């Protein structure tokens, strides 16, 4: 059986399919009791070759809240990957036990490679190196839908580590499919958005700057991100850049009253904790949307419905 659907990159679903997932997530939020048993008898394999709090916990909570069960690891040193087993051999083995797998891996393209050897088990990319993080994008879009009630006609500032920030790469890919969305790429020179992401955009769709204060007043959404220490070759370079942007209450004074501040988290220093009390700061609400949208994604890929 080769027609199984995986979710490896944001473009694996159409805009219409995204809408269906968001409608399902909305219904789960409204009436969670309807969904308590929809995945009864199904098993999620949770394969985290890199650390995670939100993605792993939200996927595992999602499956458990749907009545399914979870197996897996949060540290590959406890699996036979530590003995040198290849990724493909690992997932071909897991396919004999589980119905669906979610995988985070430090190597770009690893979930796609794994998906090519599958015959029955959908693979979900939970982040591959500095490349993509499409389920964070589902989380982000459900959050935007909730607070802005639209995906068109938005000015989105993405700020921080645009070079290695996989959540940002995925978000830009997904949001660029909507009408009249303009991006402000806000980063130090060393952490600019890679060309392979910009090449997918029309030049009129984005502007680049290193000055957050001068553009914050134009934004409908400010998407902050941390500098990704684990992707740097040089610790010295990381230390030089890590505090380049710090969003604080002073900067927030220049922002629109209905701008929202998003962040995939974890946060290091890039948002001062004083901002958490600002009602425009929605990053902790965003983490909850992540669980609901992942419930909807699991149901979609497993093709299960409420009876």
Query: Which one of 7, 8, 49, 55 is in contact with ligand CP (CB under 6 A)?
Result: 55
Judged by CB under 6 A, does residue 266 bind ligand CP? Answer: yes
Closest separation in Å from C-beta 263 to ligand CP: 8
Q: At closest approach, how far in Å is the CB of 221 from ligand CP?
A: 16
Q: Does 53 bind ligand CP (CB under 6 A)?
A: yes
Of residues 297, 300, 299, the one with CA closest to residue 68:
299
* 47: nearest Cα among 80, 12, 10: 80
Least Å from the CB of residue 214 to ligand CP: 28
Nearest-approach distance from CB 226 to ligand CP, in angstroms: 10
In the block, tokens 């680049």 appear at: 208
Does position 143 interact with ligand CP (CB under 6 A)? The reply is no
Question: How many residues lie near ligand CP (CB under 6 A)?
Answer: 9
Which of 18, 25, 35, 52: binder of ligand CP (CB under 6 A)?
A: 52
The residue within the footprint of ligand CP, chosen from 115, 136, 170, 228 (CB under 6 A), is: 136
Scanning 16-24, 48-56, 140-148, 200-208 for contacts with ligand CP by CB under 6 A, the matching segment is 48-56
Judged by CB under 6 A, which of 54, 65, 105, 131 binds ligand CP? 54
Residue 60 beta carbon to ligand CP: minimum distance, rounded to whole angstroms = 11
Q: Which helix (H) or strand (E) holds 232?
A: none
Cβ neighbours of residue 150 closer than 8 Å, sequence gap 6 or more: none
Distance in angstroms (rounded) separating the CA atoms of residues 160 and 168: 10
Query: What's the CA gap between 188 and 192, in Å, rounded?
Result: 6
Report CA Rg, the chain: 19
DSSP designation for 274: G
Specify the DSSP element, H or E, that contains 220.
none
From CA 167, how far away is CA 10, in angstroms rounded? Answer: 11
Only segment of 72-80, 186-194, 264-272, 291-299 that touches ligand CP (CB under 6 A): 264-272
Q: Report the distance separating Cα 142 and Cα 199, nearest Å.
A: 26
Question: Toward ligand CP, which CB reaches closer, 136 or 300?
Answer: 136
Residues near ligand CP, by CB under 6 A: 52-55, 127, 136, 264-266
């Amino acid at each position: 059986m080769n027609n199984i659907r995986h979710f490896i990159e944001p473009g694996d679903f159409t805009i219409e399919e995204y809408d269906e997932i968001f409608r399902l997530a909305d219904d789960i939020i409204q009436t969670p009791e309807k969904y308590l048993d929809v995945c009864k008898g199904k098993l999620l394999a949770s394969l985290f070759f890199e650390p995670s709090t939100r993605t792993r916990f939200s996927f595992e909570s999602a499956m458990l809240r749907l009545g399914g069960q979870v197996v897996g690891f949060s540290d590959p040193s406890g699996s036979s990957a530590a003995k040198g087993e290849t990724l493909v051999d690992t997932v071909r083995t897991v396919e004999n036990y589980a119905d669906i797998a979610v995988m985070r891996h430090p190597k770009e393209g690893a979930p796609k490679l794994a998906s090519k050897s599958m015959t029955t088990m959908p693979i979900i990319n939970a982040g591959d190196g500095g490349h993509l993080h499409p389920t964070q994008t589902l989380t982000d879009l459900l959050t935007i839908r909730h607070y802005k009630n639209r995906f068109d006609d938005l000015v989105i500032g993405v700020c921080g580590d645009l070079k290695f920030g996989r959540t940002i790469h995925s978000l830009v890919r997904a949001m660029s499919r909507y009408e009249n969305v303009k991006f402000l790429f806000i980063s130090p020179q060393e952490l600019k958005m890679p060309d392979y992401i910009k090449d997918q955009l029309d030049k009129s769709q984005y502007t680049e700057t290193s000055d957050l204060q001068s553009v914050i007043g134009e934004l409908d959404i400010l998407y902050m991100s941390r500098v990704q220490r684990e992707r740097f070759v040089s610790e010295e370079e990381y230390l030089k850049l890590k505090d380049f942007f710090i969003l604080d209450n002073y900067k927030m004074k220049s922002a629109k009253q209905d701008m929202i501040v998003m962040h995939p988290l974890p946060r290091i220093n890039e948002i001062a904790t004083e901002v958490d009390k600002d009602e425009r700061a929605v990053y902790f609400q965003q983490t909850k949307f992540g669980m609901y949208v992942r419930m909807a994604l699991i149901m979609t890929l497993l093709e299960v419905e409420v009876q």
